[in-house]
């Protein structure tokens, strides 16, 4: 599907009423946000409640240059507030108590409910009191491992109300991954469900949590309390009241959510938090293989989540907004919970999959709720493209105004399908670039202002100053390609890595002192548009899930039959990238289907199903320099069967390259 033109102007009907309605207005506001951030963000802060106002002289203080002292980022120092109060109590005071906060759409279309702002506040206060009764206080960490059920935002906001720090682990991660994260953050409580539905498949989450709690204790940290939501007895696919898995139970440790909630009142005074007090931590893969606990704080994150949601999706009161992301990832934190609720928005929250019971489920939900803003991943778009136009044409999608893309750069073919078939050439597409670490969108089109180029993330959001650097740290002006870095902080960026500020500095600020280094490359075209070119370090982006090659390699080498392993990314038509693994077996073991199956299973169990390798190749040896460094660029060439491998004179054994090509499965 070739592009007939390279630039698509926003629909004039969107531009006329948009918050930012032209590139001239965008440039003027962007300039103001860089020249006077205290005034720009200070004006935005006026809509929120501050128990203590910020000191204007200390509104933004930072140091990005590790050669001059510790890296430090502070916004709104001196201010105090409570984010839960701003999301719920403030909106109810403003007359939105009976507005719908969430339309919840379950795994099965017959399973749905809704929650108003007033009811959400009552549930949050009740659960905040449950947490307090279990000894949770300000600063304590609470681990959450749940599917997309309404109790999940309730649990998050209950933590925020009493000043506890939530640490959500995506409910597709293995028990090893959950245990490692609970141990690292020293969680006091784990919140989960008895299980979850994924299409027709029942997932035994509670049993998995029990394994993780045992493993966590073996690592040296004991979690004494597990609160469990009864979810599996809801409407089940085609077998109402059918056979459900047995739920393992420990009377000393496990508590049913519904029993706990009965004992507590629906009022809880908020804990007033300092601007830089922690709000949540979220683990992301590290290039060393050990996950990093990215820490976000209170005031700046509130400002940034609310402003990006409002302006990037052009959210107006009365709109129905739907972000399909799982709350277990940063997209769900910022654009299912904190951003929408800060704007008093009505959101759809979706537990299901795009393909169950049929592959028109997304479009059926858009039609049902008359969704205006729809935000999903390129992986989902590409998967849905395979089914052709008919599943889409069965539904009325005319309510849509803004279409969003997140998780990885969207390829032009998928962009054009999204634009033409889903948006009927009337919707703006916002191709958003950001990271767990950035807290919110940092490079993105604005729907009423930015002429769109398929595949380009376009221009920086307000307060964001992107710069391209070459390998030597020299700035690339105008057209060019290099490392994508940022020269200053914006309110929503992370402040540190939990209990490891040294790693925070070395990971993000040591390569180019004075800049935050994203780890991504980017290209700037002649019109100033930015195009993200992907990871520049040993990271993979599989279906929008970021993983490090080191993390996968360390799992593969745990197998007794493996002597060495190297992992690279290979392009994949649906996932974007997939894992291509090179395995050198031990002398006394054989490379065969049994070994391959065991390795795939090991990665599934240790990391999660989304990380399962697509290809496992026999490698009698790996291409190494004389100093022992694996030359991954050669492995990437082998993975795509490109024999133009370039200079291999630095290899200790050049003959290994031909052997690897011969061994391709």
Residue 2 pLDDT: 37
Chain centroid to CA 661: how far?
Answer: 36
Question: How many other CB atoms are there within 10 angstroms of residue 487's CB atom?
Answer: 15
Q: Is residue 126 part of a domain?
A: no
Question: How many other CB atoms are there within 10 angstroms of residue 319's CB atom?
Answer: 20
The tokens describing 585, both together, are 């077996």
Burial track 254-292 (b if 16+ CB lie within 10 A, e otherwise) = bbebeebbeebebebebbebbbbbbbbbbbbbbbeebbb
Q: Is residue 583 part of a domain?
A: yes
Query: Which has the minimum average pLDDT: 2-11, 207-216, 413-422, 431-440?
Result: 2-11
d(CA 338, CA 303): 10
Query: Which has the minimum average pLDDT: 45-59, 454-468, 624-638?
Result: 624-638
Q: What is the pTM of this model?
A: 0.88
For residue 301, the surrounding DSSP H or E stretch is helix 299-312
Could you tell me the CA-to-CA distances from 86 to 18, 103, 160 in Å, in that order?
24, 21, 11
The strands making up 615-618's β-sheet, listed across from edge to edge, are: 562-572, 576-585, 615-618
What residues have CB less than 8 Å from 376, skipping those under 6 apart?
323, 324, 325, 362, 404, 405, 406
Residue 237 pLDDT: 52
Residue 545 pLDDT: 81
Q: Is residue 610 part of a domain?
A: yes
pLDDT digits (tens, 9 = 90+) for 9-37: 999 999 999 999 999 999 999 999 999 99
The tokens describing 147, both together, are 């599917």
pLDDT digits (tens, 9 = 90+) for 524-551: 999 999 999 887 877 678 888 878 787 8
Interval 339-367 mean pLDDT: 97
Instruction: Name the domain count of the chain.
Output: 1
The tokens describing 355, both together, are 């393909």
Closest listed residue to residue 638, CA positions, set 614, 613, 656 = 656
Query: Which has the minimum average pLDDT: 4-8, 106-110, 118-122, 465-469?
Result: 4-8
> 565: number of CA atoms within 13 Å, CB side?
26
pLDDT band at 649 (very low <50, low <70, confident <90, very high): confident
Is 627's pLDDT higher than 70? no
Q: Is residue 402 part of a domain?
A: no
The tokens describing 12, both together, are 């004039």
φ, ψ dihedrals at 112, nearest 5°: -155, 155
Closest listed residue to residue 578, CA positions, set 603, 558, 606, 595 = 603
Residue 288 pLDDT: 60
3-class DSSP assignment, residue 593: helix
Is 628's pLDDT higher than 90? no
CATH number at residue 616: 3.30.300.30
State the residue for tokens 């005031």: 299
The tokens describing 309, both together, are 């949601």
Interval 99-128 mean pLDDT: 97
Interval 427-454 mean pLDDT: 98
- Do residues 159 and 131 make contact, with C-beta atoms less than 8 angstroms apart? yes
Chain centroid to CA 323: how far?
Answer: 12
Q: Is residue 618 part of a domain?
A: yes
Report percent pLDDT > 70 for the chain: 96
Report percent pLDDT > 90 for the chain: 84
CA torsion through residues 351, 356, 361, 364, sign: negative
- Do residues 538 and 561 make contact, with C-beta atoms less than 8 angstroms apart? no
How much is the CA Rg of the chain, to the nearest whole Å? 25
DSSP 333: I
- Do residues 449 and 20 make contact, with C-beta atoms less than 8 angstroms apart? yes
pLDDT digits (tens, 9 = 90+) for 267-276: 999 999 999 9
Alpha helices in 68-202 (DSSP H): 83-84, 90-91, 117-133, 151-162, 175-185
Direct distance between the N- and C-terminal alpha carbons of the chain, in angstroms, rounded to an integer: 30
Is 480's pLDDT higher than 80? yes
Interval 486-509 mean pLDDT: 97
Is 241's pLDDT higher than 60? no
Domain that holds residue 637: 543-663
Could you tell me the CA-to-CA distances from 61 to 51, 58, 72, 499, 505 in Å, in that order?
21, 6, 8, 21, 17
Mean predicted lDDT score pLDDT of the chain: 93
Question: How many other CB atoms are there within 10 angstroms of residue 134's CB atom?
Answer: 16
d(CA 640, CA 500): 38
Angle at 87 between CA 110 and CA 305, to 5 degrees: 95
Residue 74 pLDDT: 98
Is 234's pLDDT higher than 80? no
> Exposed (0-12), middle (13-18) or buried (19+): which is 163, by Cβ within 10 Å?
buried
Q: Is residue 626 part of a domain?
A: yes
Is 239's pLDDT higher than 70? no
Closest listed residue to residue 346, CA positions, set 363, 326, 371, 367 = 371
3-class DSSP assignment, residue 202: strand
Q: Is residue 43 part of a domain?
A: no
Q: Is residue 632 part of a domain?
A: yes
């Amino acid at each position: 599907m070739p592009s007939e033109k390279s630039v698509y102007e926003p629909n004039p009907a969107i531009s006329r009423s948009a918050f930012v309605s032209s590139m001239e207005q965008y440039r003027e506001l962007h300039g103001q946000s860089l020249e006077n951030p205290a005034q720009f963000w200070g004006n935005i802060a006026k809509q929120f409640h501050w128990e203590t106002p910020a000191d204007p002289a200390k509104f933004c203080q930072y140091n990005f240059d590790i050669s001059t002292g510790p890296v430090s980022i502070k916004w709104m120092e001196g201010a105090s507030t409570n984010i839960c109060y701003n999301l719920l109590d403030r909106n109810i005071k403003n007359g939105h108590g009976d507005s719908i906060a969430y339309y919840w759409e379950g795994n099965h279309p017959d399973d749905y409910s809704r929650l108003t702002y007033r009811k959400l506040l009552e549930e949050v206060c009740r659960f905040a009191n449950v947490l307090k009764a279990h000894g949770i206080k300000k600063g304590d960490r609470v681990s959450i491992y749940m599917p997309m059920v309404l109790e999940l935002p309730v649990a998050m906001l209950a933590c925020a109300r009493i000043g506890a720090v939530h640490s959500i682990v995506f409910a597709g991660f293995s028990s090893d991954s959950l245990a490692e994260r609970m141990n690292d953050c020293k969680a006091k409580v784990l919140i989960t469900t008895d299980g979850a539905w994924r299409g027709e498949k029942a997932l035994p989450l509670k049993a998995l949590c029990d394994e993780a709690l045992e493993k966590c204790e073996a690592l040296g940290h004991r979690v004494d309390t597990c609160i469990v939501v009864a979810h599996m007895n809801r409407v089940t696919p085609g077998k109402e009241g059918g056979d459900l898995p047995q739920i393992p139970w420990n009377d000393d440790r496990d508590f049913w959510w519904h029993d706990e909630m009965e004992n507590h009142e629906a009022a809880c005074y908020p804990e007033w938090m300092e601007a830089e007090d922690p709000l949540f931590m979220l683990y992301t893969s590290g290039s060393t293989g050990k996950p990093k606990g990215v820490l976000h704080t209170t005031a700046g994150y509130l400002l940034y989540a609310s402003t990006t949601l409002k302006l990037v999706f052009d959210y107006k009161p009365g709109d129905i907004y739907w972000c399909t992301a799982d709350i277990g990832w940063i997209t769900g934190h910022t654009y299912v919970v904190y951003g929408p609720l800060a704007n008093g928005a009505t959101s759809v929250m979706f537990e299901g999959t795009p393909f169950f019971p049929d592959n028109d489920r997304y479009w059926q939900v858009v039609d049902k709720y008359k969704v205006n803003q729809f935000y999903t991943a390129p992986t989902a778009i590409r998967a849905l493209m395979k089914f052709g136009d008919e599943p889409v044409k069965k539904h009325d999608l005319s309510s849509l105004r803004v279409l969003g893309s997140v998780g990885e750069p969207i390829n032009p073919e998928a962009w054009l399908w999204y634009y033409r078939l889903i948006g009927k050439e009337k919707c703006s597409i916002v191709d958003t670039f950001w990271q767990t670490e950035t807290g919110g969108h940092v490079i993105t089109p604005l729907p009423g202002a930015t002429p769109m180029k398929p595949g380009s993330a376009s221009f920086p959001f307000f307060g964001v100053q992107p710069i391209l650097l070459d390998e030597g740290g020299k700035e690339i002006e105008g057209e060019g390609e290099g490392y994508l870095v940022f020269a200053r902080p914006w309110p929503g960026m992370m402040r540190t890595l939990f209990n490891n500020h040294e790693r925070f500095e070395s990971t993000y600020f040591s390569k180019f002192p004075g800049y935050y280094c994203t780890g991504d490359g980017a290209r700037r075209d002649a019109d100033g548009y930015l195009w993200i070119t992907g990871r520049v370090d040993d990271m993979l982006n599989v279906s929008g899930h970021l993983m490090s090659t080191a993390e996968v390699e360390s799992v593969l080498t745990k197998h007794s039959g493996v002597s060495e392993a190297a992992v690279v990314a290979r392009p994949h038509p649906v996932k974007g990238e997939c894992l291509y693994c090179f395995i050198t077996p031990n002398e006394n073991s054989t490379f065969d289907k049994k070994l391959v199956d065991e390795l795939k299973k090991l990665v599934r169990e240790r990391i999660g199903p989304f990380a399962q390798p697509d290809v496992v190749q026999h490698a009698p040896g790996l291409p190494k320099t004389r100093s022992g460094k694996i030359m991954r660029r050669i492995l990437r060439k082998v993975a795509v069967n490109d024999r133009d491998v370039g200079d291999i004179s630095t290899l200790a054994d050049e003959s290994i390259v031909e052997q690897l090509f011969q061994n391709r499965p």
